[in-house]
Amino acid sequence: MGEQIIDATVVPAPKQRNTEAEKAAIKEGRIPEDWKPVNARQKDRDARWSIKYSKAKIREGADPKAPKPVDLAIPMFGYKNHIGIDKAHRLIRTWGASAANAHDGARLPDLISNGNTGSGVWADTAYRSKKNEALLAADMFTSHIHQRRMLRRPMPERIAKADSVEKLSLAVIAQS
C-alpha cells in the first residue's frame, strides 16, 4: 500500500429561503413553530454557509506588468466531503461529511487509515496544527502537510518548489 492523501471539497446545496425568525430557530437547533411537517421535510437544516477562497484567472495575452489577480471570496452553502485516498492505488479508503463551515483540520483523526502501511500523509495547509502533527508522530506517520508562508515574507524557494510539485501530483491523482 502507499501513502495517504487527505483532502476536502465543498458540495453546494440548494439555498434556503427562510425568514429571520426561522433562521434564528434553526441556529438554536429547533424546528420553527409555524412549520408544518411537510415544510420540515423539505428544508435542509444541517447545511451551513462558508467562504471558499480562489484566485482570479489571468486573461490570455494580458500585460505582464498588470496587477496580479486577487483572492476571491466566494460564499458557499452546503456540506464538505472529506476523503482519505491511498496514494499508490488511488482508492478512497476513508470518507466523512460535515457542514460546510466545519474546519478541515479537525477531521484528520477520522480520515487517517491506520491499516495503510505507507507512512506518509499528504494534505493542504488547513490540516497543519500542533495537535495533528503530534497525532501523526504518535501513530508513526510522516507528515507531508503543506506549510503556510510566514506573514509579510515570501515563501522560501525550497518550500515553494516542493509545494508546487505536491500540488501538481495531488491534481493529477484527483483527475484520474
Domain assignment present for 172:
no
Rounded percentage of the chain residues whose pLDDT exceeds 90: 6
Domain assignment present for 162:
no
Domain assignment present for 84:
yes
pLDDT at 135: 87
Q: How confident is the model at residue 159 (pLDDT cuts 50, 70, 90)?
A: low
Query: Which region among 21-35, 57-71, 109-123, 147-161 has the lowest average model confidence (pLDDT)?
Result: 147-161
Domain assignment present for 48:
yes
Sequence letter at residue 98: S
Stated as kind and residue range, the H or E segment containing 163 is helix 157-175
Q: Is the pLDDT of residue 95 over 70?
A: yes
Residue 113 lies in domain: 4-145
Q: Is the pLDDT of residue 154 over 80?
A: no
Domain assignment present for 55:
yes
Domain assignment present for 151:
no
pLDDT at 55: 75
Question: Within 13 Å, how many C-alpha atoms sit on residue 23's CB side?
Answer: 8
Specify the higher pLDDT residue, 114 or 75. 75
- Classify 1 as helix, strand or coil: coil
Q: How confident is the model at residue 79 (pLDDT cuts 50, 70, 90)?
A: very high
Domain assignment present for 108:
yes
**Domain count of the chain?**
1
pLDDT in tens, 116-139: 767 888 888 888 889 988 988 888
Task: Read off the pLDDT of each residue in 59-80 and give the average, rounded to a whole number.
Answer: 81
Domain assignment present for 168:
no
DSSP, residue by residue, 106-128: GGHHHH--TT----EEEE-GGG-
